[in-house]
Structures are given as structure tokens and as C-alpha cells.
């Protein structure tokens, strides 16, 4: 595949994303942005972390009187992610060798939010390159070029981390963690979750409330049998299928039961929860 330079204008959040705050996360993020303290969003998958980052980029962009908001460059981290993937590399273009910035250096130079999703998945030697960026130095060393980039005024580093997957090997180093403030994300309460489900899937209020109730009940089974409960995302998916005419039970079956576990007993428990509601 031909490598392409990242176009920052393609990463602008032009429309206001729908985000329902569940606590003081908006105030905390705004204060951290102003104080230039990077943020770690901690919590299970599907609890609105990505949506929150996009919302904050839009809101802060407005506040900064930037017409189109702040851009967000998201990197889904994985175990093969190298420093080169983030920072950039030399490429052969015809006879010439040209430098191509990676997602991190693009955000550092041009400004905006760089969101490193699931940072623990990245190799440890990759994670350390964010250290000088994440503290007061706000610089990114580009070893391959022997240069250092100073971060743009509006550059902001956000990482996410799901403690549910935590194991000794997959733990963030203290030296990394302690460069951030941590904002905890959890499942919203029933009322808020119903509001989110209704907005996102378009189902009526009653169905949204029923789905939120199912979510809450499944999370109570969680401690015993499931590594993670049904996230807001899967409840939204169930709602979207219902909205398209799929029966409520079947929608829950394919978006919740079949995905959360392979264990028969636990499936039965989940099915009981669903059939008590629908």
C-alpha cells in the first residue's frame, strides 16, 4: 500500500458530536487542556471515551475560536506498533528519499489532540517516546532525523487504557502513568444510559429504558462470570436493530448474548435477564 501523508484537515471535528456528560469529565478535561497536563481515560470498552475526545475537541476548538474545532488524530495501539509508526520514516520517492511524518509528529507539529487508544497494547519501547511530550518539555525527539520537534501550542496528548484487560505484562509503567491525570469512565446510570440509547439508535424512550435496564442487570452478573458487562455501545447496537424492525429478543441475542461469552451457563443467565424485560 502506498504510504500517504496525513492531512490534518481530514481530522477536524466539524459537527458537534453528541455526548452526554456523566460526571465532571468535561470540566476536568478542559482544565487539564488549559494546564497542558495530558489525560488518561480509563475504563471499559464502549463507555464513550472516543466520543468524549471528539466532543472535547469540538468544544475546545470553539473556545479557542478555531473555526473548525481542534483536529483529533487517533491511533489504535497494537503490539506491533513501533516508534516509527508514530513518529515517521524516510521513504524512497523516485530517486529521492523523503521524510513522512507519522500521526504523532503530525499532531505535535500542526496542533490538535493525539489520541492513543489502548496504549497498553503498544510495545514498552514505543510507549516511552511519549514521555518527553507528556511532561513540561513538550518535545518529540525524532531519532531517525536527529531532530526534536517542539509541540504546537494546541497540541494535547490523550491516551486510553482499559484496566479490565490488566495483566502483569500489560500494565502501564508508573513512569508513563504519572505523567497524566486519569479520568475514570464507567457505565452511566440507567436514566442517562437510556437517554444515550434513545438518541443514538432512535428507539422510543420505553425501549431505550428497557435496554438500559438489561445493561444494568447484566453488569450485576459481571463480577462472577463475565470479564466485562454489556457496554453502552452494544445496547445502542441492539436499539439500532430494533429500530430497523428486528424483534427485541433477537436484537439482544445477536448484539449482547452471543458476544459477551461462550459459556453456556452465563448465556443462560443473560437470556433470563433479557426475557424478563422483553
User: Which residue has its beta carbon closest to ligand ADP?
Assistant: 48
- Considering the complex, state which of residue 155 and residue 237 has its C-beta at the smaller distance from ligand ADP: 237
Using the rule CB under 6 A, is 255 a contact of ligand ADP? Answer: no
Using the rule CB under 6 A, is 50 a contact of ligand ADP? Answer: yes
Taking the complex as a whole, the smallest distance from the CB of residue 57 to ligand ADP amounts, in Å, to 13
Taking the complex as a whole, the smallest distance from the CB of residue 147 to ligand ADP amounts, in Å, to 33
Using the rule CB under 6 A, is 20 a contact of ligand ADP? Answer: yes
Using the rule CB under 6 A, is 45 a contact of ligand ADP? Answer: yes
- 92 class by beta-carbon count within 10 Å (0-12 exposed, 13-18 middle, 19+ buried): exposed
Using the rule CB under 6 A, is 19 a contact of ligand ADP? Answer: yes
- Considering the complex, state which of residue 50 and residue 257 has its C-beta at the smaller distance from ligand ADP: 50
Pick the closest to residue 77 from 102, 60, 58 (CA basis). 102
Strand-pair category, 147-150 with 139-142: antiparallel
The site that binds ligand ADP (CB under 6 A) totals a number of residues, namely 17
Taking the complex as a whole, the smallest distance from the CB of residue 79 to ligand ADP amounts, in Å, to 19
DSSP string, 132-194: HHHSTT-EEEETTTTEEEEPPTT-EEEEEE-GGG--SSS---HHHHTTSEEEE--PPPHHHHH
Q: What phi-psi label fits residue 115: left (phi over 0), alpha (psi between -120 and 50 degrees) or beta?
A: beta
Site for ligand ADP in 203-232 (CB under 6 A): 232
Binding segment for ligand ADP among 39-47, 57-65, 169-177, 246-254 (CB under 6 A)?
39-47
Using the rule CB under 6 A, is 248 a contact of ligand ADP? Answer: no
C-alpha 50: how far from its chain's center? 3
Amino acid at each position: 500500500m502506498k504510504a500517504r501523508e496525513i492531512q490534518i484537515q481530514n481530522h477536524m471535528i466539524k459537527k458537534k458530536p453528541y455526548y452526554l456528560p456523566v460526571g465532571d469529565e468535561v470540566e476536568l478535561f478542559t482544565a487539564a487542556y488549559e494546564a497542558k497536563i495530558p489525560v488518561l481515560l480509563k475504563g471499559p470498552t464502549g463507555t464513550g471515551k472516543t466520543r468524549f475526545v471528539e466532543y472535547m475537541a469540538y468544544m475546545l476548538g470553539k473556545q479557542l475560536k478555531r473555526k473548525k474545532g481542534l483536529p483529533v488524530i487517533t491511533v489504535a495501539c497494537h503490539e506491533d506498533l513501533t516508534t516509527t509508526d508514530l513518529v515517521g520514516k524516510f521513504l524512497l520517492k523516485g530517486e529521492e528519499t523523503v521524510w513522512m511524518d507519522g500521526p504523532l509528529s503530525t499532531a505535535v507539529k500542526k496542533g490538535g489532540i493525539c489520541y492513543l487508544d489502548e496504549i497498553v497494547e503498544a510495545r514498552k519501547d514505543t510507549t516511552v517516546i511519549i514521555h518527553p511530550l507528556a511532561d513540561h518539555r513538550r518535545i518529540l525527539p525524532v531519532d531517525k532525523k536527529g531532530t526534536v520537534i517542539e509541540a504546537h501550542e494546541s497540541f494535547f496528548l490523550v491516551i486510553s487504557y482499559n484496566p479490565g484487560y490488566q495483566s502483569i505484562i500489560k500494565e502501564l509503567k508508573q513512569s508513563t502513568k504519572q505523567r497524566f491525570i486519569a479520568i475514570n469512565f464507567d457505565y452511566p446510570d440507567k436514566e442517562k444510559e437510556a437517554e444515550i440509547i434513545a438518541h443514538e439508535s432512535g428507539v422510543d424512550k420505553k425501549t431505550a429504558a428497557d435496554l438500559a435496564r438489561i445493561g444494568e442487570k447484566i453488569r450485576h452478573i459481571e463480577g462472577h462470570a463475565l470479564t466485562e458487562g454489556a457496554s453502552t455501545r452494544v445496547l445502542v447496537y441492539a436499539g439500532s436493530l430494533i429500530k430497523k424492525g428486528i424483534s427485541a429478543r433477537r436484537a439482544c441475542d445477536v448484539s449482547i448474548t452471543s458476544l459477551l461469552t461462550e459459556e453456556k451457563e452465563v448465556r443462560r443467565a443473560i437470556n433470563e435477564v433479557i426475557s424478563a424485560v422483553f
